[in-house]
Amino acid sequence: MSTAAANPDARPITVRRIKFRYPTGSLDRHYVQGDLMMSHIVAMMSAVFPEGEDYFIRSVRSFSDQITDPVLKTQVAGFIGQEVTHGREHRELNGRLQQMGYPTAFFDRLTCRTLNWLTRHLPPRFNLAVTAAIEHYTAVIAETLLTDPRAQDLLGENEVRSTLLWHALEESEHRAVAFDVYRTVGGTERLRIWAMRLTTADFVIGALINILASLARDRAAYNPRRLFTSIAALRHSPFASREVVARIRAYNRPGFHPNDVPNTELIEQWNARLFGEQGQLTDNLR
């Protein structure tokens, strides 16, 4: 029996046709509630999403001929559809952030070269293991945003908040797909855990470099009081809590599965909140 068929949490993955708009002047320079660091952190995360989503799709598609279970096949199709939309919408956001002074275009090109190199020169199963690891990171961050009011309050009420809430919901919906494909095609626990360790090192070092480079272009970052106040606030960020670190580290446990932490109620709650009859984002659906 396949991983998907054996998984009681297997669910349809909805591909939503959605559009977000960022008219000139609609966002403040430091659009995350005026916070210097968080504005740059979110911008640099968004900068790598489009090429990252393309890499995830390539990594999963390379094993599509080995997926025979109809449930997992359907989930893979939903995963790909959602990731295509994520890439398109973050490219739109990144264009606006570039106009505001964030170096999103540069890091988009750098990410493209890096991930294309991985695809060309490393084994497909390793790329799939990396994809599953990064999907775990994004799912933990996404579910922190959806469960912690402090995280939601950080984003204010602008269109970036709407984009990230939608993205977070869909990351939660498909969080186990790449993982299940990896297991289905015979990926080992050893490779899975080593891929996560390498991904963590790259994630931490790469994110730090990107954020510092972005800050270097921002005059506000040269105000010591503002900079260090913003850095100090990161210690209390809901995204850096012990619970978040513990969830990320759980991936290294033999026998781990993303659905060890149930999220069905969370998905139902946010699906109704964002896309129900009176949902916050129903006007964004196309």
Q: Is residue 263 part of a domain?
A: yes
Convert the pLDDT of each residue in 147-194 to its tens digit.
999 999 888 888 999 999 999 999 999 999 999 999 999 999 999 999
Q: Is residue 283 part of a domain?
A: no
Q: Is residue 215 part of a domain?
A: yes
Q: How confident is the model at residue 27 (pLDDT cuts 50, 70, 90)?
A: confident
CA-closest candidate to residue 129, choices 60, 74, 54: 60
Convert the pLDDT of each residue in 36-49 to its tens digit.
999 999 999 999 99
- What are the tokens at 35? 């916070």
Task: Say if pTM beats, i.e. exceeds, 0.85.
Answer: yes
Q: Is residue 9 part of a domain?
A: no
Q: What is the pLDDT of residue 7?
A: 52
Q: Identity (one letter) of the amino acid at 96?
A: R
Q: How crowded is the C-beta side of 195, counted as CA atoms within 13 Å?
A: 26
CA-closest candidate to residue 49, choices 155, 207, 156: 207
* pLDDT value at 58 more than 80: yes
Q: What is the pLDDT of residue 2?
A: 44
Query: 33 in helix, strand or coil?
Result: coil
Q: Is residue 127 part of a domain?
A: yes
Q: What is the pLDDT of residue 9?
A: 54
CA-closest candidate to residue 3, choices 273, 255, 285, 283: 255
Q: What is the pLDDT of residue 155?
A: 84
Q: What residues contact residue 122 under an 8 Å CB cut-off, 6+ apart? A: none
Q: Is residue 76 part of a domain?
A: yes
Convert the pLDDT of each residue in 94-149 to its tens digit.
999 999 999 999 999 999 999 999 999 999 999 999 999 999 999 999 999 999 99
Q: Is residue 131 part of a domain?
A: yes
CA–CA separation, 135 and 205 (whole Å): 18
The residue range of the domain holding 121 is 36-274
Question: Tokens 């309050």 identify what position?
Answer: 153
Helix (H) or strand (E) holding 195: helix 189-215
Name residue 279's beta-bridge partners. none
Query: 251 in helix, strand or coil?
Result: helix
CA–CA separation, 67 and 80 (whole Å): 14
Convert the pLDDT of each residue in 236-259 to its tens digit.
999 999 999 999 999 999 999 999
Q: What is the pLDDT of residue 11?
A: 72
CA–CA separation, 43 and 22 (whole Å): 14
Q: Is residue 5 part of a domain?
A: no
Convert the pLDDT of each residue in 3-26 to its tens digit.
544 454 567 899 999 999 988 777
| Residue 256 burial (CB count, 10 A) | 16
Q: What is the pLDDT of residue 1?
A: 39
Number of domains into which the chain is organized: 1
